[in-house]
Amino acid sequence: MASNTPVAIPDQPKVGMVSLGCPKALVDSERILTRLRADGYAMSADYAGADVVLVNTCGFLDSAKEESLAAIGEAIAENGRVIVTGCMGNEAEVIRAKFPQVLAVTGAHQYEDVVEAVHEAAPPSMGPYIDLIPQAEPGDVKLTPRHYSYLKISEGCNHACAFCIIPSLRGKLASRRIDAVLREAEKLVAAGTRELLVISQDTSAYGVDVRHEERLWKGEPVRTHMTDLARELGKLRTPDGQTPWVRLHYVYPYPHVDAVIPLMAQGLVTPYLDIPFQHASPNVLRAMKRPANEAKVLERIKAWREVCPDLAIRSSFVVGFPGETEADFQYLLDWLDEAQLDRVGAFRFEPVEGAAANDLPDPVPEEVKEDRFRRIMEKTEGISAARLAAKVGRTIRVIIDEVGEPDEDGDIGATARSQADAPEIDGAVYLRNVPATLKAGDFADVLIEEADAHDLFGVIA
């Protein structure tokens, strides 16, 4: 005999997440939360509402480790039930010595171990009323705005740069299957992503570990290779028929990068390269054990811009590396004058536990590091200001990140980015008097009216 007694749906356990570090760590956080959501967990936006808190740590620099330890301490103080994962998870003994009450510690991209630890700390509510609840919107759990998504193509790195410990944290290069990457990209675009940010430790090396094996995609063989990946991503279209932006990060200037530039000139791939040059002086590059340090980079940059004049290049540089002389540093400044990079970040050399550079002779005094940091920032800011000023009067394509509320005069402002601007690390395009119908994720053509050293200002064309 059927019962009319309502079935009590069990409460979903809730998980909080603190995600630190680089975009690759953010992708790890998204994957973990996606799996937990599929297992019936809800997400908590604050400590108080969480049954357990995950802290995804960064362990690249000592300052990042300190930030990670502070985040763990805050989570313990505010909630008490904490699981630690991420790059600093490789130093479990350090974490447990400082915070013996943590429930579990796992290393970078150990998704199954994290999920198992959550299951033990806050067992999932089993049953079809929880397990089979569909996603509220298409796509997986995302920590980024809906209109852009990070697309991780590999883990780890085969290089042995003297200042870096990423291979010891994340292991050797391990490329994802290209058909799996393309399937994920297609799904993201169908769900509303308008900009794909391709990330890895070394995007140019994608597929080296699997000898660029071929996989079938849409009935055709596709190599596990950066150029094939870029070409196939350039074929994607949004539901309204537009070409999504495809932005390449962490690209080493290997010869095959030349083959991607024509795709940018054709509008299939965003004309933007994030290349971690780190320095220009041959002496310092040798000491850093950087790959491809003999490449004639300046000539290649010139050739790239001849093929694709709108190409934007961003990079990062280390100043004060052990043994760096004033002549080495001046070489870098002169190189920057010639390279005319669009976006540059600079970092003072910081010893990292376990890095080979710590044992190098001739450390650079802190006051010299500070002086060189100031000088390189002045140099690159001047270059950036000139390159942005050249865009005044031009009409450029932007993607809208945020639309504001009307002011007292009813005018609405918006924050956007050009193709030369990656989210969170580059500049922005600030718009005035936009239509009320404009929304985040829209593409728009914008007339640039003003520029400063970092940002552009304009109006819808």
Q: Which residues are annotated as a binding site?
A: 22, 58, 87, 157, 161, 164
**Of 158, 119, 400, which is closest to residue 292 (Cα–Cα)?**
158
The DSSP-derived string for 139-192 is S---SS-TTEEEEE-EE------TT--HHHHH-S-EEPPHHHHHHHHHHHHHTT
Residues 188 and 139 sit within 8 Å (Cβ to Cβ): yes
Residues 287 and 321 sit within 8 Å (Cβ to Cβ): yes
Residue ranges for the known binding site for [4Fe-4S] cluster are 22, 58, 87, 157, 161, 164
Containing 130, the helix (H) or strand (E) segment is helix 128-131
Output the six-digit token pair for 236: 């994607």
Q: Is the dihedral of CA 31, 36, 41, 46 positive or negative?
A: negative
Strands 429-431 and 414-418: antiparallel
Cα gap 380→373, rounded to integer Å: 11
The DSSP-derived string for 312-358 is EEEEEEEES-TT--HHHHHHHHHHHHHH--SEEEEEE----TT-GGG
Alpha helices, DSSP H only, in 214-345?
226-233, 261-265, 282-288, 297-307, 326-339
The DSSP letter of residue 60 is S
Residue where the block lists tokens 């996603």: 135
